[in-house]
Structure 1
Amino acid sequence: MGLLSNKVQRSDLQTGDHVYSWRHAYIYAHHGIYTGDGKVIHFTRAADQEVGTGTFLDRILLSSSLSHTRNPCEKCGDLSAASGVIISCLDCFLSGGELYRFEYEVTPAFFIAKARGGTCTLAKSDTPEEVLHRATYLLQNGFGIYHIFKNNCEDFAIYCKTGLLVITNISVGRSGQAASFVAAATAVVSSPLRFLTTSFSGLAVVAGGMYCVSRYVADIGMRRDVEKIPVERLVARP
């Protein structure tokens, strides 16, 4: 693990690790919590549909992912229609992709250097026992409705690791992937600094700076609109 890649071997995994695997030419990553014995608890809309929005955009976003079918797993059975918080073997979770481990309590410099969101956070992880308690409790009781920007698979894994919940309704959730998407979309358009230069290189520098700043302040370890909420209280919320 390091600056260039978070890739790990299966033998290096530890119980309570936050793992992920890139999907569809690195468009997005699917996240979960490793429980040991080759099993992962994760939150999904349905197999290969974690990037879905529930709108007409899914026809575009999911067109490539739905073009193939997989045989039922000998260990897990047919998970093609499974949704919500589920448990599966590591092979089903990876869906043919490679294995990566999400990093916690990284330095600000390391976080900025990892320009792609959804790979690390400044936030501190709780103990493996606490992480597994949250994950197994949510496996039995659910994690609400899947939402690509406010309640996705990365949000689930980060909550299991930290217990932190966003308490405002006007911003994205805990997901670094969602924060990166929003930061990239608004870096130039919403920045008054774009008027300071008209050159392409100048705009690139401004956009890059705004993107890094936006990602940094939106990280779960830096935000002030979060609260540590016990999983039992989370499930009991209306």
Structure 2
Amino acid sequence: MVGVLSNRVDREDVKAGDHIYSWRAAYIYAHHGVYVGDGMVIHFTRAAGHEIGTGTVFDWFLYSSSPAATEGPPCEKCGHLVKREGVIMSCLDCFLDGGNLYLFDYAVSPAFFLAKARGGTCTLAASDPYDVVIHRARYLLNNGFGMYSLFKNNCEDFAIYC
């Protein structure tokens, strides 16, 4: 169990199979993924520039959860992974995109769950064993997780499914 006020962790505290996330857009939403070890994360994302916008100011909040850096040389750790949408694997640095690292907490008590300041950071449900989580994430990396939908099929749904 992490903490009631923050699930922030250091890189050395995460292990393969952990459900991790990083806050985006000034803590408006979080991007979730599965840490698979060796500094790599499998996560579900929309492609930059391919989102269906609302045509309003809300589009600023709905930008892609893929790494923002599209200019300059590719990342030395994961730049060879050319897939930029759907279920992708990237290095932890690109996943975090300059943000902090947080650990999603499983099997919390009802009291802890109710005490959490923000939703989307923990669940009452238990996680499956780490090897099963990694197997699912790698399977979906090769086979997809359907069409990305902000409200019905997103990165948090992906990580929880894994």
Same structural fold, with TM-score higher than 0.5 when normalized by the shorter chain: yes
- Using CA pairs below 8 Å that are at least 6 residues apart, which structure has the higher relative contact order? 2
**Structure 1 counterpart of 2:119:** 117
Q: State the AA in 1 paired with 2:152.
A: K
Q: SS of the residue aligned with 1:75? A: coil
In 1, Cα distance between equivalents of 2:108 and 2:61: 36
Please state how far the C-alpha of 1:158 moved relative to its aligned partner: 0.1
Please state how far the C-alpha of 1:57 moved relative to its aligned partner: 4.6
Percent identity between matched residues is 64
Q: State the AA in 2 paired with 1:4.
A: L
> Mean alpha-carbon deviation: is it higher for 40-49 or for 65-74?
65-74
**Structure 2 counterpart of 1:62:** 60
Q: SS of the residue aligned with 1:31? A: strand
Task: Mark the structure with the bigger radius of gyration.
Answer: 1
Match of 1:74 among 60, 63, 76: 76
Q: State the AA in 2 paired with 1:151.
A: N
Q: SS of the residue aligned with 2:100? A: coil
Please state how far the C-alpha of 1:120 moved relative to its aligned partner: 0.3
Q: State the AA in 2 paired with 1:31.
A: H
In 1, Cα distance between equivalents of 2:97 and 2:90: 11
In 2, Cα distance between equivalents of 1:132 and 1:39: 11
Structure 2 length-normalised TM: 0.86
**Structure 1 counterpart of 2:27:** 26
> Mean alpha-carbon deviation: is it higher for 80-89 or for 137-146?
80-89
| Gap regions ≥5 residues in structure 1 | 161-238
Determine which structure has the larger helix proportion and give its number: 1
| Gap regions ≥5 residues in structure 2 | none
In 1, Cα distance between equivalents of 2:54 and 2:81: 24
Q: SS of the residue aligned with 1:16? A: coil
Partners of 2:16 and 2:37 within 8 A in 1: yes
1:61-210 equivalences in 2 (<5 Å)? 61-62=59-60, 69-71=70-72, 72-77=74-79, 82-160=84-162
> What per-residue deviation string (whole Å, max 9, x for no partner) do you get for residues 58-112 of structure 1?
7633379689755321222277971000000000000000000000000111111
Please state how far the C-alpha of 1:47 moved relative to its aligned partner: 4.8
